Amino acid sequence: MPGLLAYVSILCTIAASSNAQHPHFHQWNHYGPPGAVSSSSTALTAPTSTPSIAVAELDSSPNASPVAASSASSSTSSTAVASTGSSTGTDGSSGATASSSITPNGIKAGVAGFPDIVNTNKAALDQYAPYISWYSDYWPNTTDFTSGTKTVKGIGMLWGDGDLNETDPTAPIGTAAADDKNRYAAYTDLPASPAPDYMMGFYEPDWPAPYSSNMNAPTAATAWKATLDKLGNTLVGSPSMATQMDETWLTPFMEALGVTEPPWDYTCIHTNKNTSDGVKADVGYYWTKYGKPVWVSEFACVNDESWTMCDQDTVNTFIPEVVDFFEKNASVIAYGYSNGAGLGSVWPLIDSTTGNLTSSGNCYLDVLQGKVSSGQACTN
């Protein structure tokens, strides 16, 4: 279809020049960069809390209130999460040198993007359970799971506004619109008490459906006011951006909310980079610009210009390096290995045929167990 090919070609040209892409582009490469984002505003809305203050609070008083509790936000509470005060307990997690009161149970590591895995392949998650504190599944009502004596927290997310914005008639929407609707309903059905400890904001509203929630900033702001803004004793995460450090969405979002300080407690970010330097640049961007602790709610090894996934050799050195960075960097309060769509055959943690951990899955496990360190390569 020449028409479609021309469309792909134009979008790829835009993609190559914008350097603001996403793994789903790799799989569904007829998607262009988000037309939704009108970046008329180039001025930053500088957060009034500076990173250095936030670091000092996080580092010096691990049992104190989350950083945002001292801001104007009324949606936070210091009582929501009790810190263990230590990130290197008896859990066996290695190398953890910094955490905050936001870090679930004092352990930063997690796994992200596992719909229904607790029912379909809990055995795989059990292998990580001693070393992680959290997992996510795109739903707001994610359940905790127990593995032996360990409880791993299910971290909920309000994925979209329940009314999926389908702008591309050729997009394979599949169940995405129904999922969005059902997830929103599950959110509104959550019991008022007890409030969840955590809730993450919208999933990549800066990117087209079906694998991202595709909302313009004013629409998302209206949905935020009706939902996440009203949460009481819950630590709320920002909307996550597909466009990584090239995002132009969160500032218009804050403007639409009429706030000058981020109204979330931690900034949820997705990093799709092929080097630890690229990952550091993403973290640094959000930390500097929004001044909130960073929850890396998804990371993957991707060349984000060509949208090719890293090969196994690259993955084998990438994982130890980035985990070391996440553990040591006090701006990062949690991180999760992404198991989302469009990530090729090397990166996913679990072999979809056998249900066993892949080489990459074993690499992440080895690193979390302290068997492989930064500067070394996984061998399996």
Ligand X SMILES: *[C@@H]1O[C@H](CO)[C@@H](O)[C@H](O)[C@H]1NC(C)=O
Binding site for ligand X (CB under 6 A): 34-36, 55, 139, 141-143, 165, 167, 182, 186, 208, 214-216, 219, 273-274, 278, 280, 283-284, 287, 303-305, 329-331, 354, 356
* Total Cβ atoms within 10 A of residue 371: 14
Least spacing, CB of residue 93 vs ligand X, in Å: 19
Least spacing, CB of residue 356 vs ligand X, in Å: 4
Least spacing, CB of residue 67 vs ligand X, in Å: 12
What six digits make up the tokens of 366? 């080895």
Cβ-proximal residues to 306 (8 Å cutoff; 6+ apart), any chain: none
Residue closer to ligand X by CB (options 15, 36) is 36
Least spacing, CB of residue 54 vs ligand X, in Å: 8
Least spacing, CB of residue 200 vs ligand X, in Å: 15
Q: Which amino acid is at 117?
A: I
- For the sheet with 198-200, list strands across it: 156-157, 198-200, 235-236
Least spacing, CB of residue 74 vs ligand X, in Å: 26
Q: How far apart are CA 87 and CA 85, in angstroms?
A: 7
Nearest one of 30, 27, 39, 40 to 8, comparing CA atoms: 30
Q: How far apart are CA 208 and CA 168, in angstroms?
A: 8
Q: Which residue has the tokens 């104007």?
A: 72
Q: Which residue has the tokens 């045929």?
A: 353
Residue closer to ligand X by CB (options 79, 122) is 122
Residue closer to ligand X by CB (options 352, 354) is 354
Least spacing, CB of residue 260 vs ligand X, in Å: 22
Helices (H), 100-243: 117-120, 122-128, 176-188, 217-226
Least spacing, CB of residue 276 vs ligand X, in Å: 10
Residue closer to ligand X by CB (options 90, 110) is 110
Nearest one of 82, 89, 101 to 131, comparing CA atoms: 89
Residue closer to ligand X by CB (options 93, 317) is 317
Least spacing, CB of residue 81 vs ligand X, in Å: 20
Under a CB-based contact definition with an 8 Å cutoff, are residues 112 and 85 in contact? no
Residue closer to ligand X by CB (options 195, 330) is 330
Least spacing, CB of residue 82 vs ligand X, in Å: 23
Under a CB-based contact definition with an 8 Å cutoff, are residues 73 and 55 in contact? no
Q: How far apart are CA 241 and CA 4, in angstroms?
A: 27
Q: What is the number of residues in the chain?
A: 380
Nearest one of 66, 36, 75, 17 to 241, comparing CA atoms: 36
Under a CB-based contact definition with an 8 Å cutoff, are residues 125 and 103 in contact? no
Residue closer to ligand X by CB (options 330, 346) is 330
Phi, psi (5° rounding) for residue 156? Answer: -75, 165
Nearest one of 342, 321, 339, 302 to 20, comparing CA atoms: 302
Residue closer to ligand X by CB (options 17, 167) is 167
Residue closer to ligand X by CB (options 149, 189) is 189
Bridge partner list, 380: none
Residue closer to ligand X by CB (options 33, 336) is 33
